[in-house]
DNA sequence: TCAAAAGTGTTCGCTATACACCCATGG
DNA sequence: CCATGGGTGTATAGCGAACACTTTTGA
């Protein structure tokens, strides 16, 4: 058992990155969980994650994890907290740099390599392994905070979407209700949406316009500094 | 040289906590820096920090650093980012969990143990060691963000203060100017200040009322959820 | 023809903003 | 008496919240 080839004068913790992957199914906010195959917490669900390699930054590590789980390469990720309680992993001291990712659910081919990965709506998330319940709560809190400064919601929608879909997304994230008409006007007024010529027919009633997120306009706003309220 | 008694199968990074300590001198926002006595970056200024102990959380580590530098025990600290670029320390792989602290400048007995610690106004900060320039920029950005959700500014003021001082603080943090009269009214209207019977005479002109931050009122607001705009 | 959803208008009240005004004080 | 800073008042514009109305469609 002497392949322990790395020696230090002082003890060093292990460092991992975990990734809370959010996706929107059109009605509810979902998170991607993987079922643990080994002890501890065998059989419990947890966020995908793994050890940070010595030649990659935490962000690169999180992107790698994300790719391995979802096949996505250019997703939006954001570091939101580092968890460091001494006994959060019963085996050894583990420090976890946690990210959340916002992905378009429909772009993720369900559970590729990871045999047992699955999407869970926020209100149906089972008890998680380690301190991942707290990680989820923190991720949600930070996402809700972030959405006040950047229109990150668009990362969760397909390229073309209706205002109704955008509203449902915001309602799912913030857990509030908006007046349909006021929301519509506010979005139009903000100028961050580009109306397309296309329409879509989602239901037996009237068809609705499709929109794209206007990145150029957003960059313009961002330079001047702006408020984004909801 | 065989006191390297900690062995691992895979390489482990070192983990430190650094603390960006903000203080307000009545006009400008200041940060506390320490001068490095050893290589690398000997003679350059840097944020106080040190290795995380195996039995303490990052927050405990940051509080310990803060106490060692300022003697303060109950200061407000907040984790804001973890820096993990592989070569940010030329000697070895170091991951830094960074906190900012908000302290009452006047409570800090200048440079106790650390011989060469000193306050620097934000616009007079010299080039820093390692990637601490970026750490400072990130800390400021997060502080400015945080102040939209929590009235953290009060942590930087003495217990009793005038509205003018509060305004100068907000202007220093956010780098903006407010109309004196509108700021006053807004603060009165918010209800987070308790007006004291005492007044103070800061200058040859008219004396001004002193106020305290109303913690009870704040907790009340926080429960119901509220907006804090500036 | 009726229910449901999309798109448009209108009203009201709050608040941010821009000011004017008076009060107190020391030089 | 006047310059300076503190405390209070007032008018306007813009936006958010609430809600009425019209249009389109399939059943």
What number is the average pLDDT over the span B45-73? 96
What number is the average pLDDT over the span A160-168? 96
Per-residue pLDDT of B163-215, as tens digits, reads: 999 999 999 999 999 999 999 999 999 999 999 999 999 888 899 999 999 99
Residue of A nearest to B230 (CA): A227
- Of B116, B146, B176, the position where a domain reaches its end is B146
How many domains, in total, are found in chain B?
2
Residue B79 within any structural domain of the chain? yes
Residue B155 within any structural domain of the chain? no
Question: Three-state DSSP class for B122?
Answer: helix
A63 and A111 assigned to the same domain: yes
Print the domain residue range for B89.
14-146
Contact B69, B34 (CB under 8 A): yes
The residue lying closest to nucleotide C16, measuring its CA against C1', is: B182
A70 and A129 assigned to the same domain: yes
Residue of B nearest to A14 (CA): B12
Contacts for A190-195 with beta carbons within 8 Å, 24 or more apart?
Answer: A190/A228, A191/A217, A192/A151, A192/A217, A192/A218, A192/A221, A193/A163
A117 and A26 assigned to the same domain: yes
Position A113 pLDDT exceeds 90: no
Q: Packing angle between helix A163-174 and helix A180-190, nearest 10 degrees? A: 110
Average pLDDT, chain B: 92
Q: Do B95 and A56 touch (CB under 8 A)?
A: no
Torsion angle of the four alpha carbons B34, B38, B39, B40, in this order, in degrees rounded to the nearest 10: -20
Nucleotide nearest to A204 (CA to C1'): D26
Per-residue pLDDT of B4-32, as tens digits, reads: 889 999 999 999 999 999 999 999 999 99
B27 and B125 assigned to the same domain: yes
Question: What local confidence, expressed as pLDDT, does residue B222 receive?
Answer: 82
Q: B123 is written with which tokens?
A: 């616009």
Q: CB distance from A7 to chain B under 8 Å? A: yes
- Of A113, A146, A179, the position where a domain reaches its end is A146
Residue B152 within any structural domain of the chain? no
Per-residue pLDDT of B73-119, as tens digits, reads: 989 999 999 999 999 999 999 999 999 999 999 888 755 555 689 99
What number is the average pLDDT over the span A119-129? 97
Per-residue pLDDT of A48-74, as tens digits, reads: 999 999 999 999 999 999 999 899 998
Residue A20 within any structural domain of the chain? yes
CATH number at residue A40: 3.90.79.10
* Residue from the list B8, B13, B56 with its beta carbon closest to the beta carbon of A86: B56
Q: CB distance from A145 to chain B under 8 Å? A: yes
DSSP A105: G
CATH number at residue B171: 1.10.10.10
Better-scored residue on pLDDT, A100 or B221? A100
B136 and B207 assigned to the same domain: no
Residue B57: which residues within 8 A CB-CB, separation 6 or more? A84, A85, A86
Residue A57: which residues within 8 A CB-CB, separation 6 or more? B84, B85, B86
Stated pTM of the model: 0.95
Residue B1 within any structural domain of the chain? no
């Amino acid at each position: 058992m002497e392949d322990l080839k790395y020696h230090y004068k002082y003890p060093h913790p292990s460092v991992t990155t975990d990734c809370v992957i959010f996706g929107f199914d059109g009605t509810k906010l979902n998170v991607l969980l993987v079922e643990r195959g080994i002890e501890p917490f065998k059989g419990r669900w947890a966020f995908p994650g793994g050890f940070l390699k010595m030649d990659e930054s935490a962000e690169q590590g999180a992107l790698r994890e994300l790719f391995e789980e979802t096949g996505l390469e250019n997703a939006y990720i954001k570091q939101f907290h580092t968890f460091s309680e001494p006994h959060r992993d019963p085996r050894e001291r583990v420090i976890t740099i946690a990210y959340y990712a916002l992905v378009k659910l429909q772009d993720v081919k369900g559970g590729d390599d990871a045999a047992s990965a699955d999407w869970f709506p926020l209100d149906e998330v089972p008890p998680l392994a380690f301190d991942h319940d707290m990680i989820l709560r923190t991720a949600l809190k930070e996402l809700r905070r972030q959405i006040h400064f950047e229109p990150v919601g668009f990362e969760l929608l397909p390229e073309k979407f209706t205002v109704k879909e955008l509203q449902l997304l915001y309602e799912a994230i913030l857990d509030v209700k908006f007046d349909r008409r006021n929301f519509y006007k506010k979005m139009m007024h903000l100028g961050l949406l580009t109306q397309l010529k296309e329409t879509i027919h989602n239901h037996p009633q009237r068809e609705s316009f499709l929109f794209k997120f206007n990145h150029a306009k957003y960059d313009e706003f961002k330079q001047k500094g702006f408020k984004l309220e909801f």
